[in-house]
Amino acid sequence: MSAPARVLVVDDSPTMRGLITAVLNSDPEVNVVGQASDAMEARAAIKQLNPDVVTLDIEMPNMNGLEFLEKIMKLRPMPVIMVSTMTHHGAHASLAALEIGAFDCVGKPAPGDSRPFYDLAEKVKAAARSAHRRSGPAPVPTVAPAVEYRVGRKVVAIGSSTGGVEALIAVLQKFPQNCPPTVITQHMPSTFTKSFAERLNRICAPVVQEATDGARLEIGKIYLAPGGERHLQVVNPSAPCCRLVEKEPVNGHRPSVDVLFDSVAELAGRNAVGVILTGMGRDGASGLLKMRSAGARTVGQNEKTCVVYGMPRVAYEIGAVEQQLPLGSIGEEVLKLTAARKEGTE
């Protein structure tokens, strides 16, 4: 057994520090080695304790979590998991943290929450295992020109989880304004997906929106599954559209990538391209295999560029991935696979 992941807990609330510490120390593979109430204490503790992972409150006095995160990523890059309120403001701050370089974000529990921080220990262990160490903010990818790109008749389906915010930005900023209809499931809390869709819509050439039940799939539009209570599917071959369905979580997730990929395999078959990006676990692997078996082209993010090589690894191992590519090449490859052929659209 490898040594437990060593964690520093940073939060200005003694109650929250105690709760996070208790939750993490209940896992034998995690060891909280210290606590800090603000950025100054945290900086000293990082130097003294050299933790594997830091949990960091976004809203703190003197220097907020985002400012401190930027300093960590510039001066001493290490895995940081942000702890945020599940509010609209908290969602914006969390997305900013992920773009700066945070490994992941977790929400503070609501009153009466029976399982506070239920997945925090797993995320801490994944962060400790990860080789992801980026110095400074992620570079902003340039938008690929739409020169000579003629969209074909294919549908693109993308699945992602931990590390997916940066990965999706990198892929989607390569899409031209007339991109193929694209549906995405990213594991994310319900309060985050609307803000993320708005962020993507501002920085990408196509229209990006949170998927709504019955929304028609159209060229130039990207649909992000809303987090929370429903799964995203695509249905109706004669007039493809989004469907939000209330079902139990699949692979522990709702929305689930497998549910989306299964529906795309059934709806589009060979007229689809499936992409699986960075993320913990195995959600999306079996669905991507169904897509490939139905004739779809499939792409997986390679290990070197993943924050967590979990979902893409499982998909590759079961034969669902036709080709593995570095993140920076995936957007261009999707455009090649979806472009209309000179002799006619696919």
Residues marked active site are found at 161, 187, 283
What proportions of the chain, in percent to the nearest 5, are helix, strand and coil?
35, 25, 40
Query: Does residue 332 sit in helix, strand or coil?
Result: helix
**Torsional sign, CA 161, 193, 70, 33:** negative
Task: Extract the tokens encoding 209.
Answer: 């929106």
Rounded to the nearest angstrom, the gap between the alpha carbon of residue 23 and the centroid of all alpha carbons in its chain is 24
- Which 3 state secondary structure label does DSSP give 255? coil
User: What CA–CA distance (Å, rounded) separates 157 from 223?
Assistant: 10
- The region that residue 295 occupies, defined by phi over 0 for left and psi between -120 and 50 for alpha, beta otherwise, is left
Strand partners, 276: 159, 300
Compute the Cα dihedral for 164, 117, 61, 63 and give only its sign: negative
Which are the contacts of 245, defined by CB distance < 8 A and separation ≥ 6? 230, 231, 233, 259
Strands 207-210 and 182-186: unpaired
